[in-house]
Structure 1
Amino acid sequence: MAVIMNERFVSERKEIGKGRQATVYLWNGFAFKVYNEGYPPQWIDFEMQVQKQISQTALPVAKYYKTDCPHIIKMDYISGVTLSEKILEGQYQHGIEDLLNLQKQIHRIDNVDLPHIRKCLEPEISGLNCAEEQKARALRFLSEIEDANTLCHLDFHPSNIISHNDMYYIIDWINARLGQPIFDYARTFVILFEAAHALAERYMELLKTSVDDMDMSQLDKAIYIMALLRTKEMGGSNTSRLLAKYGNTPSDPPFTRVNIP
């Protein structure tokens, strides 16, 4: 029986979220992620495989289910509010602390059957439409960061965390890879910086004080890489400012570093 694409689904579904690639609807107690027309089906299959791997861990995540439509995924529906809403609308004061504690939980897991960050980043950087100097610097930074087999979310920010009944659930694992956690921290910082400087500054303070063996010089390199890749995704002057600040290293020609407020 056609579970998804029938008249009841189309007429009764309620939109609960929308991103660049898909719209999420609530129907019959489940969430349904409907991808835009033309979205590659192999990428949807890959997302299903990633979620299957993550669901086998002890992390608080939603389960995914196949449907009879290749461009739709059925998911457990988690009611509640995002950590973003809790911080910005509810004036919750410890949101960034909660965010980092959850991220540390993710980084306790390793050797999940997922691709490695380094193998994915190298072709992404090489294919960027940017200055050759920037690409060369990013590839050099990438080669200088130690590899690892740690689980990384790589799109970890307050809007991908749902608070329900005093428990957090982590969503949107499509970017998950194995690698050095410093890449995960760097991407979170870049995303926070784009959205709210104060939250990014608080996050950076916590990284310096509460993450064991944090190598700040390596973090600077990872931030440069993630800011450059984010320019491709989103553009914007904020990311450019990060490139200016974090692109200067002892092995580069000296220039005046900019202070980011």
Structure 2
Amino acid sequence: MSCDFEALFGEIVGRGAQATVYAKGEHAVKLYREGYPKRNVFSEAYIMANLELVNFPGPMIYEILLVNGRYGLRMDRVKGEVMSEEFRDPARRDPVRCKDTLDVLVALQCRLQKYDKTGWMPDLKQRFHDDLVINDRLSADLKKNLLGILGGLPDGQALCHCDFHAGNVFFDGAKYTVIDLLQVSRGDPAADAACSYVAWSFTGTEIAEYYLNRYCGESGISEKSVRQWLRVYAGTLLGQVPEKFTPIIERFIAGS
């Protein structure tokens, strides 16, 4: 049976591979695609509810919905403009404004990584381990190799968003709001930076390198510490991102 989700939840304000976001008044509903894992929906709700307790700058969550076979989360409507607008059109990018935006994002990311009371969060290395194990795009030998690398990487207690980039940050002129909190974990902050570096690589090599340079300068973490996570994180993404990005992922997995 069909359902008019716009009549229920309002206009479409965002659309991704896994969910469509509707908004009406002060609330938004993130409605996941049919068949999206139930455990992921409840995990994201759990993470969002706990982040509220430490005043993390994310939307407040109100309820989990099940409508016409699809799960959703009702939350605050995010106000302001998404910070990825500066990077959307390569032909019209202003290099100065792009770098200024990156500077702001790096400072925000480093500040978020300093949040304490992360003991309740999922462990980042365990999450990467599980993602590698279930990824059937990886050969048995490559999977074994990447799991071995992961085992030798450092643990940590930092708040890691694990998908921190301009498309997941909004600014309303007064405050920032960070969205897409499913992957929030406890771990090595360099791993969080590696996730961001890969995301920025989808935008462009020059932008990614500027991000990495600024992050290392702001955080005091070495570039080597960030790069050691790239092969493992890329392995978790193989087959999980749009095919146009597969060559980039494969280069990271190869260590080049």
TM-score normalised per structure 1: 0.83
Structure 1 equivalent of residue 103 of structure 2: 97
**C-alpha distance in 2 between matches for 1:79 and 1:73:** 17
Unmatched 5+ stretches in structure 2: none
The answer to which of 201-210 and 100-109 deviates more is 201-210
| Cα distance in 2, alignment partners of residues 189 and 162 from structure 1 | 19
Aligned to 1:240: 250
Cα deviation per residue 1:138-159 (whole Å; 9 max; x = unaligned)? 2222122211121110111110
Aligned length: 241
Q: Report the counterpart of residue 63 of structure 1 in structure 2.
A: 60
Q: Distance in 2 between matches of 1:191 and 1:7?
A: 33
Asked if structure 2 preserves the Cα contact closer than 8 Å seen for 1:227 and 1:243, the reply is: yes
Aligned to 1:249: none
User: Which letter maps to 1:229?
Assistant: T
* Aligned-pair CA distance for 1:87: 4.4
- Is the Cα–Cα contact under 8 Å of residues 87 and 203 in structure 2 kept in the other structure? no
Q: Tell me how large the CA RMSD over aligned residues is.
A: 2.4
In 2, Cα distance between the equivalents of 1:208 and 1:167? 24
Q: 1:137 and 1:80, CA in 2 relative to 1: closer, same or farther beyond 3 A?
A: same
22, 37, 47: which one pairs with 1:40?
Answer: 37
- Structure 2 distance, partners of 1:146, 1:168, is 30
3-state secondary structure, aligned to 1:232: coil
Residue deviations 1:186-220 (CA, integer Å, cap 9, x gap): 011011102222210111211332222x2433322
Q: Based on CA coordinates, which of the two structures has the bigger radius of gyration?
A: 1
What SS is found at the alignment partner of 2:29?
A: strand
Q: TM-score, normalised by structure 2?
A: 0.85
Structure 1's unaligned 5+ residue stretches are 247-257
Instruction: Label 1:68 to 1:122 Cα distance change in 2 as closer, same or farther (>3 A).
Output: closer
Identity among equivalent pairs (%) = 22
| Alpha-carbon distance in 1 for matches of 2:248, 2:65 | 42
Q: Is the 8 A contact 1:30 1:75 kept in 2?
A: yes
In structure 1, distance between residues paired with 2:123 and 2:64: 28
Correspondence for 1:78:
78
Structure 2 residue 199 is the aligned partner of structure 1 residue 191: yes
Q: Check conservation: 1:145, 1:218, Cα contact below 8 A.
A: no
2: distance between equivalents of 1:12 and 1:121? 34
